Amino acid sequence: MSITSLLTSATLSGASVFPKSLACSTDFSSNLSSPFDSSKICLTSFPASRNPKKNATWNLTPNTAPIQGIRCHAMQVETRESFTAGKKFQLSDVIEGQQFDREMLSAIFDVAREMEKIEKSSSQSEILKGYLMATLFYEPSTRTRLSFESAMKRLGGEVLTTENAREFSSAAKGETLEDTIRTVEGYSDIIVMRHFESGAARKAAATANIPVINAGDGPGEHPTQALLDVYTIQSEIGKLDGISVALVGDLANGRTVRSLAYLLAKFKDVKIYFVSPEIVKMKDDIKDYLTSNGVEWEESSDLMEVASKCDVVYQTRIQRERFGERLDLYEAARGKYIVDKDLLGVMQKNAVIMHPLPRLDEITPDVDADPRAAYFRQAKNGLFIRMALLKLLLVGW
């Protein structure tokens, strides 16, 4: 049975979350024994940025009250992402690797491949014409910020940018993150934020009424990097199940390897090797997560041995900025594991070397010419993934 309801207003946590008039129609036959039983309804009739945060799933309860002859219903937001007919889903924010499952990854990658076609075509896309993206970067960035800005412009959108928000925004005057987000959302349709504190992106998303993308939060996570990393592995290796991956370098402070580990856990028969100096070993929360999800992992100090049996060697730099004044610890950690010609000699023929970049001396320049060096192709894939995310967050399918 199909029914159409007209909601003149709805209120969530004391604030109006719908326009004055919203018509919505959906098929309740598979979920409701009567039109007013509790069920989930996905409202996706307009872009998330043009409306309450975001294309969310709501619980329709039987508590109703007539307002000007219209039956109104109390609604409560579900915290998890929702799927609509045909297993299409609606993203609300991109905050952490744990929020994605295999179906969602596959769907995002399908859109990313469409974005590759758009990028290669000579015609200008207008998918995001009329939309504004604000980039708030409290830490330095080259690839992430520029690829997001390029992605937005290639889809016809516009960009408002703050490159060093920590020093050149009101944060330098003591403004709270919440106040900054509330201000910036008034100027834009989506916020892409990099911050120096772990958990800042989640705080921003909880504050904002428009989509927020985590472009890295201190030593926490970097989910869009992980998405492009998995997309690159699939493109280069041809599969994601049954692979062996070596995560190398600064595993304690590297947000990219943390997010990547979360995503790799979604696939079958994956084995992860952790290769790092003792002082920057992978933290226990990631190890516990992998164990609880049945993912085999192993710590090793022998990069040559590990590289000989891995499909992917994912190298990272030792992050000096995370050591504060303890430069002695930084010097003790750097230079321990180098990807060079000798390492190439023991690697499998079809394996790949990846790196989130920037690199310092942990991959020697003479490796670049080897076809297994995938890190610049990896960086280019970031454009396609970020184009896909912007499209899905702003206009959906």
Summarize pLDDT for 384-395 with one digit per residue, the tens.
999 999 999 999
Spot the catalytic one: 57, 144, 162, 256. Answer: 144
Spot the catalytic one: 20, 80, 117, 173. Answer: 173
Spot the catalytic one: 143, 153, 202, 287. Answer: 143
Q: pLDDT band for position 119 (50/70/90)?
A: very high
Coil, helix or strand for 289? helix
Over residues 64-84, mean pLDDT: 39
Over residues 163-189, mean pLDDT: 78
| Predicted pLDDT of residue 164 | 62
Q: 112 or 68: which carries more pLDDT confidence?
A: 112
pLDDT exceeds cutoff 50 at 130? yes
On the 0-12 / 13-18 / 19+ scale of CB atoms within 10 A, 202 is middle
Q: What is the mean pLDDT of the chain?
A: 79
- Backbone angles phi and psi of 168, in degrees to 5: -115, 35
Q: Is 195 a catalytic residue?
A: no
The residues near 172 (Cβ < 8 Å, ≥ 6 apart) are 166
Rounded Cα distance between 343 and 301, Å, is: 14
Tens digit of each residue's pLDDT (9 = 90 or more) over 265-307: 999 999 999 998 888 889 999 999 999 999 999 999 999 999 9
| Predicted pLDDT of residue 102 | 93
Closest CA to 193 of 249, 261, 178: 178
Q: pLDDT band for position 46 (50/70/90)?
A: very low
Amino acid at 359: R
| Predicted pLDDT of residue 5 | 34
Spot the catalytic one: 222, 317, 355, 391. Answer: 222
| Predicted pLDDT of residue 165 | 52
Distances (CA, A) of 286 to 139, 255, 260, 290, 383: 24, 11, 10, 6, 27
Q: 38 or 351: which carries more pLDDT confidence?
A: 351
Q: Is 143 a catalytic residue?
A: yes
Q: pLDDT band for position 323 (50/70/90)?
A: low
Spot the catalytic one: 73, 145, 194, 203. Answer: 194
Closest CA to 48 of 13, 94, 116, 111: 94
Q: 369 or 25: which carries more pLDDT confidence?
A: 369
| Inter-residue contact 12 to 77 (CB < 8 Å) | yes
pLDDT exceeds cutoff 50 at 34? no
Q: 46 or 385: which carries more pLDDT confidence?
A: 385
pLDDT exceeds cutoff 70 at 169? no
pLDDT exceeds cutoff 80 at 19? no
Q: 191 or 77: which carries more pLDDT confidence?
A: 191
Report the predicted TM-score, pTM, of the whole model to 2 decimal places.
Answer: 0.76
- Which residue pairs, CB below 8 angstroms and at least 24 apart, start in 142-148? 142/357, 142/358, 143/357, 143/379, 143/382, 144/194, 144/215, 144/216, 144/222, 144/224, 144/225, 144/382, 145/192, 145/194, 145/215, 147/379, 147/382, 147/383, 147/386, 148/192, 148/213, 148/215, 148/386, 148/390
| Predicted pLDDT of residue 250 | 86
Over residues 312-325, mean pLDDT: 78
Most confident of 46-60, 87-101, 112-126, 326-340: 112-126
Q: pLDDT band for position 88 (50/70/90)?
A: low
Q: Which domains does the chain have, with CATH numbers?
A: 93-221+381-395 (3.40.50.1370), 224-379 (3.40.50.1370)
Over residues 192-216, mean pLDDT: 94
